[in-house]
Amino acid sequence: MNSIILRTGTVFILPLLLLVSVVILLRGHNEPGGGFVGGLTAATAMLLHMLAFGPKEARKLLPIGPEAMIGVGLLLALFSGIPAMFAGLPAFKALWTDFEPVQGVKFSTPLIFDVGVYLTVAGVVILIIFSIAEYRGHRAIDAQHASDARAREEAS
């Protein structure tokens, strides 16, 4: 899509959307919101950027690939269950501290879990969007299969 209005608008809306997604993530534990919705919102921001500037530019915007995002997100979610085990409690017992990184949000293992969910959901949706946008079509994939088969035949 080549529209100057969309491009200019995206430049302003993208940071706003990402900020909103973080707000949704942080208010999640006690109020409507949370990692899942926040992740979806963040992915929407990426979708908007991709529509305006194309998938190549959108990929440049991401510090890590969507696959790694899923991995890191799951790692955080899994990690949130570990501290309880060191305290001799069952895995995934929620532990809370009084430290508030943001006003009204206590640092805790559920917060780590939610951040993990946020990254995972955002990563999955972005990966789906990229896969659709970068799809080369049936013919290209069939050609790839054929050349793979030829290479195998020649080698054997």
Partner 1 sequence: MTAQLLASLPLLVPMTGLVLCLVFWRWVALQRGVMVGVALSLSATAVALLLRTTGGEVLAVRLGDWPAPMAITLVVDQTAAIMVLLTAVVAVACTLFSLGGIDRTREHSAYYALLCGLFAAVCGAFTTNDLFNLYVWFEVMLMSSFVLLSLGGRRAQIEGAIKYVTLNLISSTLFLAAIGLTYAMLGTLNMADMAERLAAAENPGQFTPVAAIFLVAFAIKSASFPFFYWLPASYHTPPSVISAVFAGLLTKVGIYVMIRFFGLMFPASHPDAGMIYHIILWLGGFSMVTGVLSAAAQMEIRRILSVHIISQIGYMLMGLGIAGSALHRAANDGDPGGVLAGAAALALAGTIFHIAHNMVVKVNLFLVAGTVERICGSGDLNRIGGLYAARPGLAALFLIPALSLAGIPVLSGFWSKFLLVRAGLVAEAYVIIGVSLFVSVLTLFSMIKIWIYAFWKPAPENAEPHNPDRDPTVGPMRWQYAGSLFLTCVTILIGVFANQAIRAARIGADQLIEPRAYLDAAMDRAGEPASADPASAGEGVAR
Which of the residues 30 through 69 are near partner 1 (CB under 8 A)? 65, 67-68
The answer to whether 90 touches 44, Cβ cutoff 8 Å, is: no
Task: Tell me which stretch binds partner 1 (CB under 8 A): 24-32, 44-52, 70-78, 98-106.
Answer: 70-78
For residues 156 and 140, give the distance between their C-alpha atoms in angstroms, rounded to a whole number.
25
How many H-runs (helices) and E-runs (strands) does the chain carry? 7, 0
> Which residue reads 């534990």 in tokens?
29
Interface pattern 134-153 for partner 1 (x via CB under 8 A): -------x------x--xx-
Phi-psi category of residue 107: left, alpha or beta, with phi > 0 → left and psi -120 to 50 → alpha: beta
Q: Cα–chain-centroid distance for residue 18?
A: 11
Interface pattern 82-101 for partner 1 (x via CB under 8 A): --xx--xxxxxxx-------
Q: Which is nearer to partner 1, 139 or 152 (CB)?
A: 152
Q: Which is nearer to partner 1, 78 or 105 (CB)?
A: 78
Q: Which is nearer to partner 1, 6 or 68 (CB)?
A: 68
Q: Which is nearer to partner 1, 61 or 151 (CB)?
A: 151
Name, in order, each residue with C-beta under 8 angstroms of 144's C-beta and a sequence gap of 6 or more: none
| Least Cβ distance, residue 91 to partner 1 (angstroms) | 5
> Which residue reads 């993990």 in tokens?
116
* Residues at the interface with partner 1 (CB under 8 A): 65, 67-68, 70-72, 74-75, 78, 81, 84-85, 88-94, 141, 148, 151-152, 155-156
